[in-house]
């Protein structure tokens, strides 16, 4: 139960973080998008790790089941493959049969001891080869049996016509689902691209945009007006142009910023996203309202 609950929570975090990531991209709030992206990647890694661990556990259980089953008398295919691929036996006493045109000097005692030890080693090797090698090969064949190919190879046994037709129907359905998913993905990417890319705005000459900011800062002695001015100076770079801005303190931590000329839809979304996504220490700003109207006389 706890494992299922954990998986559900991970999936919820994955979906929520992915949704917020797209929302923050649309709002041009890059810092929040980065944090949401980190949560999304972490949840994705957790899901992949959970799936892999579950598969590994299933493989371990399968291997344990195969070990507990009674072993067959002899797995001929695996055993024959092992015996065929075995290296040829080495003649470890070839030096005794070398005929060279040279004179060797041996001490009789050492020569006799060497002959005796060689004979004993030969007997031990023959006995070990006759008893241990078949047992080891048989055990190795039994351990490799779960990894052996099925009787029909990778393609399996011949499939009846009805099953083959069913498989073709399933394949056609999968292809159709993949095509539909690709079209939906392309549409989603196109919509997100249009929403997050810089687009030319309409001509706003003769208009003024008024932004009302609610500034919350926990640093003593710092006014809301000065904080709003610093935020505007930082975020104005997202507009890629310099605009005239007048600040008016409305009291209660609220500041009105009059921007001339006015901001278009895309420019206003970028500047609002930057102001609300400010990374100033102990400072938070929210755009309470935004209106665009004709400029006052004498302002362009």
Instruction: Using CA atoms of 15, 181, 155, 169 in order, give the dihedral in degrees to the nearest 10.
Output: 120
- Report pTM: 0.47
Q: Give the CA distances from residue 43 to residues 35, 52, 187, 200, in Å, rounded to whole numbers and listed in that order.
A: 12, 14, 25, 37
Could you read off the pLDDT tens digit of each residue along the chain, which spans 300 residues?
A: 777 788 888 889 989 998 888 888 877 788 888 889 999 999 999 988 888 888 888 888 888 777 766 665 555 666 677 777 777 777 665 655 555 544 454 455 556 667 677 777 887 777 776 666 666 667 777 776 666 666 656 665 555 556 667 777 778 888 888 889 888 888 877 777 666 666 666 767 778 888 888 888 776 667 788 888 888 888 887 777 777 788 888 888 888 888 888 888 778 888 888 888 876 667 778 888 888 888 766 555
């Amino acid at each position: 139960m706890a494992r299922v609950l954990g998986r559900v929570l991970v999936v919820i975090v994955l979906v929520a973080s992915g949704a917020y990531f797209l929302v923050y991209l649309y709002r041009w709030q890059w810092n929040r998008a980065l944090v949401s992206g980190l949560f999304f990647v972490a949840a994705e890694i957790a899901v992949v790790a959970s799936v892999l661990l579950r598969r590994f556990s299933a493989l371990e259980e399968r291997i344990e089941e195969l070990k507990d089953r009674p072993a067959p008398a002899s797995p001929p295919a695996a055993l024959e493959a092992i015996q065929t691929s075995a290296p040829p036996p080495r003649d470890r006493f070839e030096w005794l049969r070398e005929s060279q045109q040279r004179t060797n000097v041996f001490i009789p005692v050492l020569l006799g001891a060497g002959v005796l030890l060689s004979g004993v080693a030969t007997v031990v090797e023959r006995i070990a080869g006759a008893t241990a090698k078949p047992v080891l090969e048989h055990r190795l064949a039994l351990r490799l049996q779960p990894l052996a190919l099925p009787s029909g190879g990778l393609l399996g046994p011949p499939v009846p016509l009805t099953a083959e037709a069913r498989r073709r129907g399933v394949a056609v359905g999968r292809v159709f689902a993949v095509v539909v998913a690709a079209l939906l993905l392309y549409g989603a990417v196109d919509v997100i691209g249009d929403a997050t890319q810089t687009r030319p705005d309409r001509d706003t000459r003769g208009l003024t945009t008024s932004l009302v900011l609610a500034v919350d800062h926990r640093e003593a002695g710092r006014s809301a007006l000065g904080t709003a001015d610093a935020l505007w100076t930082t975020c104005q770079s997202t507009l890629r142009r310099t605009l005239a801005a007048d600040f008016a303190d409305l009291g209660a931590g609220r500041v009105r910023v009059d921007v001339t000329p006015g901001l278009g839809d895309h420019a206003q979304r970028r500047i609002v996203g930057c102001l609300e996504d400010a990374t100033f220490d102990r400072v938070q700003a929210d755009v309470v309202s935004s209106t665009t109207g004709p400029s006052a006389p004498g302002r362009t």
